[in-house]
Amino acid sequence: MSLQTITGKRVGDTYYKLEHPSGLTVFIYPKENSNSTYAVFGTKYGSVDNQFRRSDEDTVHTVPEGIAHFLEHKLFESEDGDAFARYSKTGASANAYTSFDMTCYLFSSTENVEASLEILLDFVQSPYFTEQTVQKEQGIIGQEIRMYDDDPQWRVMFNLLGALYHTHPVKIDIAGTVESISHITPELLYQCYHTFYDLHNMALCVAGNIDKETVLRLVDRYCKPAEPFAVDRVFEEEPRSIVKNKVTQALSVATPLFQFGFKEEAGKNRKTVKELAAVELLLEILASEGSPLFRELQQSNLINESSFSYEFFEGPGYASVIFAGESKNPDKVAQSIVKEVNRLRNEGIPKEDFERAKKAIYGRNVAALNSPETIANCIIALSFSNRELFEYIDALAEITLEEVTASLQTHMLEKYAALSVVEPIIPMEESKQ
């Protein structure tokens, strides 16, 4: 068991990585001047992992939509009380989240860090599900789902994913539906738990005011060697094409919202840090607040500063470039974006725009290292996609105009674009403001 030291020369920080004999990957990022310590214990298991086959079995299992998220809620309960009650003795602020491709349990704490870390390592490894507790949670999560049903940002995103993807489970709501979660049973929860909460499929990252010896001692105590087995995530074939190029839903909103997305080539492997850096830079050049596109959209009163955004959204088997915001005329925004992409492709990216974007993105990524929370969440997400934090920052600092130009040729192709709009139920002028 050897401890790997990882240093970011540009940022002057160091952290440690260890492949623990139990199978768990451990990251420790000490920040001795920090008051708090932030720990995240996660598994590479999210809402898209709906169909799977274990290497020690032949059957492909299909489980209800939303079960990874349901499991996240239920894991807080053990036979002898719930994890929040245990954390209440240490003062730690604890939480958890489930995304498309991972589930993470976390806490932030300034005192009793060691005791909090023990609780984290223990409860995540102690499943306890009964008919009664599952039923209780169906009410709570049912209300979480209903809350998201009213959330226009959430709806406009999933409507877009539904327009882009034919079969890929990324289009399914992370929490599932009130109907789908009604099929969840303790047995199904145990089955998913024992498949995906194997330490070989998990990672721990602790950032902040803590030393590596403390973390390693606790990992030794709480993490026992697990049987290594592989999980095959089964995805149906996803065509390259999109499903439809426009989708609209009416909700109680005062102003229309949109997401305009380009479905990108996803492939079997996750994108490398270089590929990611190239797309991130490309988007900054294309659509940041100083760009010609932003200027045109703003001057035409089509977007506003507080809501317009863009991202490269990618995970296992899916990748898209997504623009989002509020607009009185989303169709026009989409047209302008396509036009500007084509113009850039024809005319080339000006060197000064490239240099400026590079500095901006580099600066923002270094700035993010202030926060133990950001650090821990980034490292764990990067580790599940075989990437490393400082390599990513180096890739941003070293990227060339040629690489970004090459990325522009293969991304944001018009034939793979779809527009999702959430519009007001009643015409805007009549609505109650």
Partner 1 sequence: MSEINQRVVCNGVDFQSIQNTNFKTMRISVHFMLPIDKNHISANAVLPALLCRASKQYPDYTKLSQRLSELYGASLNAEVQKLGDTQLLSISTVGLADQFTLNGESVSKELAELLCSIIFDPPFENGAFREEDFNQEVRQTIELIDSEFNDKRIYAKHRCEEIMCDKEPYGIPRFGSKEAVRALKPNDLKEAWSYLIAHARIRIMALGNCNPDLVFQGFQTAFEKVDRSQVVTCSSDIITDVKEIKDVSEPMEVAQSKLVMGFRTQIAAPQKEITAAKLMTAMFGGTPHSKLFLNVREKMSLCYYCAARYNSSKGIMTVESGVETQNIEAAKNEILKQLEEMKQGHFTEEELQSAKLSVCNSYRTIGDYLGSTESWYISQIFMPDMQTPEQAAKEISKVTREEIISAAQKVTLDTIYRLVGTEEE
Residues with a catalytic annotation lie at: 72
Residue appearing with tokens 């958890």: 96
Pairing of strands 417-424, 3-8: unpaired
Nearest-approach distance from CB 86 to partner 1, in angstroms: 10
Q: Is 111 in the site for partner 1 (CB under 8 A)?
A: yes
| Nearer of residues 318 and 392 to partner 1, judged by Cβ | 392
User: Out of 364, 386, 406, 414, which residue is the one contacting partner 1 (CB under 8 A)?
Assistant: 364
| Nearer of residues 5 and 33 to partner 1, judged by Cβ | 33
Please, are residues 153 and 257 in contact by the beta-carbon 8 Å criterion? yes
Q: Is 9 in the site for partner 1 (CB under 8 A)?
A: no
The amino acid occupying position 387 is R
Pairing of strands 318-326, 309-315: antiparallel
Nearest-approach distance from CB 287 to partner 1, in angstroms: 12
Residues 370-429 that bind partner 1 (CB under 8 A): 370-372, 397, 425
State the binding string over 242-281 for partner 1 (x if CB under 8 A, else -): ---------xxxxx-x------------------------
User: Out of 18, 68, 121, 141, which residue is the one contacting partner 1 (CB under 8 A)?
Assistant: 141
Strand boundaries in 92-191, DSSP class E: 93-98, 103-109
| Radius of gyration for the chain, computed over Cα atoms and rounded to the nearest angstrom | 23
SS3 category, 371: coil
Task: Report d(CA 424, CA 268) in Å as an integer.
Answer: 39
User: Out of 89, 217, 224, 244, which residue is the one contacting partner 1 (CB under 8 A)?
Assistant: 89
User: Out of 4, 7, 62, 88, which residue is the one contacting partner 1 (CB under 8 A)?
Assistant: 88
User: Out of 18, 206, 361, 381, which residue is the one contacting partner 1 (CB under 8 A)?
Assistant: 361
Task: Report d(CA 285, CA 414) in Å as an integer.
Answer: 18
Task: Report d(CA 90, CA 413) in Å as an integer.
Answer: 52
Question: Which pair of tokens denotes residue 101?
Answer: 């491709």
Nearest-approach distance from CB 376 to partner 1, in angstroms: 13
Task: Report d(CA 327, CA 303) in Å as an integer.
Answer: 5
At 334, phi and psi to the nearest 5?
A: -60, -45
| Nearer of residues 368 and 413 to partner 1, judged by Cβ | 368
State the binding string over 200-239 for partner 1 (x if CB under 8 A, else -): --------x-------------------------------
| Nearer of residues 122 and 296 to partner 1, judged by Cβ | 296
Q: Is 344 in the site for partner 1 (CB under 8 A)?
A: no
User: Out of 36, 195, 320, 383, which residue is the one contacting partner 1 (CB under 8 A)?
Assistant: 36
> ∠ CA 146-124-182 to the nearest 5 degrees?
30
Residues 151-210 that bind partner 1 (CB under 8 A): 151-153, 178, 208
| SS3 track for 171-204 | HCCCCCCHHHHCCCCHHHHHHHHHHHCCHHHEEE
Task: Report d(CA 119, CA 129) in Å as an integer.
Answer: 18
Question: Which pair of tokens denotes residue 288?
Answer: 């940041």
Residues 285-304 that bind partner 1 (CB under 8 A): 288-292, 294-295, 298, 301, 304
Residues 48-67 that bind partner 1 (CB under 8 A): none
